Amino acid sequence: MAMKRRDLLLGGADDSSAQRLYARYIYSEHDIRWHHRYRDITSLSDNGRLVLDYSKFHDVVPEKK
């Protein structure tokens, strides 16, 4: 049986150069996590500064129903 695939096309603008940017990636059906979301990588430190925890960058969690 052939594996299904999904094409993801993204577009945007680079703020520093005002140029349009495009990206394309092909995912197999096993790569897509339906009803999941990315884990929040932001928090506040004890002194109130924004912290970005990139160790969580690829983590996903199930959506709450």
In this structure, is the dihedral angle defined by the CA atoms of residues 28, 31, 33 and 39, taken in order, positive or negative?
negative
Per-residue pLDDT of the chain (65 residues; tens, 9 = 90+): 566 788 888 889 888 998 999 888 888 888 888 899 999 999 999 999 999 999 999 999 999 87
Q: What is the pLDDT at residue 45?
A: 96
Q: What is the rounded CA–CA span in Å between residue 34 and residue 29? A: 10
Cα 6 to the chain's mean position, in Å? 15
Q: What is the pTM of this model?
A: 0.51
Bridge partners of 44, per DSSP, are 50
